[in-house]
Chain A
Amino acid sequence: MTDLIHSTTSAKRTERSATASMTYAIFLAAGLAFLVIAPAFFYPIFLMKLLCFALFACAFNLLLGYTGLLSFGHATFFGGAAYFTAHAVKEWGLTPELGILLGVAGAVVLGLVMGFVAIRRQGIYFAMITLALSQMFYFFCLQAEFTRGEDGIQSVPRGHLFGLIDLSQPTNMYYFVLAVFVIGLLIIWRFINSPFGMILKSIRENEARATSLGYSVARYKLGAFVMSAALAGLAGGVKALVFQFATLTDVTWQMSGEVILMTLLGGIGTLIGPIFGAGLVVTLQNYLATSDFPVTIITGVVFMVCVLLFRRGIIGEFYASRLGRKLGFEHRR
């Protein structure tokens, strides 16, 4: 009897998840089609900024949503990689793809160091430690020679991709950024659906049990941390080329807070939620940039409202809504 019930529910579940993946595929195709034709309707620079932050937020969500670690220091990887890429391209004359690779490599090193120290504590302590370490990196950037202090690294050339494609053309640059964004998302999708990603989810759900099953929890956490740092670095490196500068703004704790907000607003632990969150935050900032009303107040209020009333975020609420469930989505939390 119980077996029967079990098998029907599990059959229902497979059916449901089949509908869900159908809906998902349609969503993704529509989203991608929109992004391909978007430059006809919006400023390319705005779209590129959006894509960079969306990738950054997805990278952050890899850690918070799928491993359950709240890092308050992700600006280090984003801004750090921006500095490395800008320096490599401008001072050493590297091609853009090599510059970005170097930025990612730098972010990996920073992620290894910060992760190694921070995973020694859990929960709230982890958040505080990452925040403190990223503040240390901020002071390093403030004083180091190559970052040029308050000025930042200015007028970084975009150069030619693979020595062939001229990225100073906005259209070329846009499709390059879009390609990087899609590749980044594919990596994340592959990562969270791999055995490694499954173990990460089990650590999120019950760390003690994962340990007792024989998994080296610390090593998996460090792996997730470095992966997340690398992808955040990818976003940061590309951003340096888009705006052609790298400044202190990208390594401040406010930037770490912003990416948390994007993820929270869009939906922690959903693959596409952070993209929507990033879109909203970037649009809001663009809109408020012309008025003298400070963004911080709005950011702060949205933070509080999200935490109090809206913890699943936009996409999470949608999944949990009647329509979302009818379409076959499931969402806990």
Chain B
Amino acid sequence: MTMIFGIPLQAFLGQLLIGLINGSFYALLSLGLAVIFGLLRVINFAHGAQYMLGAFAAMLLLQYFGINYWFALVLAPVIVGLFGALIERTLLSRLYKLDHLYGLLFTFGLALTIEGTFRYLYGAAGQPYSVPPALAGGTNLGFMFLPIYRGWVVVVSLIACIGTWLLIEKTKLGSYLRAATENPVLVQAFGVNVPMLLTLTYGLGAALAAFAGVLAAPVYQVSPLMGSNIIIVVFAVVVVGGMGSIMGAILTGYMLGIAEGLTKVFYPEASNIVIFVIMAIVLLIRPAGLFGRDA
């Protein structure tokens, strides 16, 4: 058997793949956080809850309406995105004039409420969501066994990340968004409906989180706690990357996912905390984050 650094190649690549998958979710979620923060100046603590809502939406759509994975992949983000837009329009928008910490506290309360409600209704235990038949099974790449669904997750989340990046960097709507990030008052003076833009952005961020949630449903169990488990790690990712750049958020997500996977191979005891340790080191060396502009 081939060995690499004294570890069987199979195990090494297996953990690398798991790291890549986790990294995909980190990238998708930190991307959404960065987009929302860029424009709204709100750290969306409810991002994890929205990710969980996406997974639950997929599961419930299947249970009650027999709607399969492929439709859920579109429907769940739309539902959660609309819910997010509603929250932004009615409640969150009242807090923009205040200290940014209030936005964080409000979304923290929102996350607790959503999570508590789902825990009350469906229990804390996870429920399985089966892989769609078209993506079931695996393929032997010669050097490793690749479950097709996992490969699909990596590819699709990469496409979603690049798509969002293109939307923001290359389209007219994206240019409005970027302009409003720099100077909302001026952009409004040019006749752009900035409040609408804010609602749209929050809805888009929530939809991205829900999209990640649907992708995650067959990989992890669908559980009310899945969101709060991941959101703290994503916060660390965002601190490492710095929220100044969209691409930075994506790259950091993948990098830290892989770092976590590799730690699982070489020193499993530390795999839970490696991202936090990296965060601390980055803060000591480069407080603004790897891609950050703001000090």
A-to-B contact residues, CB < 8 Å: 70, 117-118, 120-121, 123-125, 127-129, 131-133, 135-136, 139-140, 142-143, 253, 257, 260, 264, 293-297, 299-304, 306-308, 311
Given contacts A70-B101, A139-B273, contact A131 B235 (CB under 8 A): yes
Our pick among B111, B114, B228, B239 for the contact of A121 (Cβ within 8 Å) is B239
Q: Are A124 and B104 in contact (CB under 8 A)?
A: yes
Which stretch from B64-72, B214-222, B277-285 is at the chain A interface? B277-285
Our pick among B100, B105, B228, B283 for the contact of A260 (Cβ within 8 Å) is B105
The interface on chain B, measured as residues whose beta carbon lies within 8 A of the other chain's beta carbons, has a size of 41
Q: Which residue of A lies closest to B46 (CB)?
A: A300
CA distance A121 to B286 in the complex (A): 11
Q: Are B238 and A128 in contact (CB under 8 A)?
A: yes
Q: Are B108 and A257 in contact (CB under 8 A)?
A: yes
Q: Are A133 and B109 in contact (CB under 8 A)?
A: no
Q: Are B272 and A308 in contact (CB under 8 A)?
A: no
Chain A residues within 8 Å of B116, by CB:
294-297, 299-300
Q: CB-defined interface of B91-115 with A at 8 Å, one 1/0 digit per residue?
A: 1001100101110111011111111
CA distance A287 to B127 in the complex (A): 31
CA distance A103 to B113 in the complex (A): 33
Smallest CB separation, B87 vs chain A (Å): 10
Enumerate 16 A-B pairs (CB-CB under 8 Å) in ascending A order.
Answer: A70-B104, A123-B100, A124-B100, A127-B101, A128-B235, A128-B239, A132-B235, A293-B120, A294-B116, A294-B120, A296-B112, A296-B115, A299-B112, A300-B116, A303-B106, A307-B105
Q: Are A123 and B239 in contact (CB under 8 A)?
A: no
Our pick among B109, B238, B280, B284 for the contact of A307 (Cβ within 8 Å) is B109
Q: Which residue of A lies closest to B271 (CB)?
A: A139
B287 at the interface (CB under 8 A from A): yes
Chain B residues within 8 Å of A135, by CB:
232-233, 276
Q: Are B43 and A303 in contact (CB under 8 A)?
A: no
Q: Which residue of A lies closest to B91 (CB)?
A: A308
Q: Which residue of A lies closest to B232 (CB)?
A: A135
Chain A residues within 8 Å of B102, by CB:
307, 311
Chain B residues within 8 Å of A123, by CB:
100-101
Chain A residues within 8 Å of B108, by CB:
257, 260, 303
CA distance A142 to B113 in the complex (A): 26
CA distance A301 to B110 in the complex (A): 7
Chain B residues within 8 Å of A307, by CB:
95, 102, 105-106, 109
Chain B residues within 8 Å of A304, by CB:
91, 106, 109-110, 113
Segment 240-295 of B: residues with Cβ below 8 Å from A = 269, 272-273, 276-277, 279-280, 283-284, 287
Smallest CB separation, B137 vs chain A (Å): 35
Our pick among A118, A132, A303 for the contact of B105 (Cβ within 8 Å) is A303
Q: Are B276 and A133 in contact (CB under 8 A)?
A: yes
Chain B residues within 8 Å of A124, by CB:
37, 43, 100-101, 104
A70, A142, A264, most chain B CB atoms within 10 A: A70
Chain B residues within 8 Å of A120, by CB:
283-284, 287
CA distance A127 to B231 in the complex (A): 13
Q: Are A257 and B112 in contact (CB under 8 A)?
A: yes
CA distance A117 to B112 in the complex (A): 27
CA distance A311 to B109 in the complex (A): 14
Please give 4 more A-B residue pairs, beta carbons under 8 A apart, in addition to A131-B232, A303-B106.
A118-B283, A129-B283, A303-B112, A304-B106
Chain B residues within 8 Å of A257, by CB:
108, 112
Our pick among B91, B106, B272, B279 for the contact of A139 (Cβ within 8 Å) is B272
Q: Are B119 and A117 in contact (CB under 8 A)?
A: no
Our pick among A260, A296, A311 for the contact of B119 (Cβ within 8 Å) is A296
Q: Are B235 and A302 in contact (CB under 8 A)?
A: no
Our pick among A117, A118, A297, A311 for the contact of B113 (Cβ within 8 Å) is A297
B269, B272, B280, most chain A CB atoms within 10 A: B280
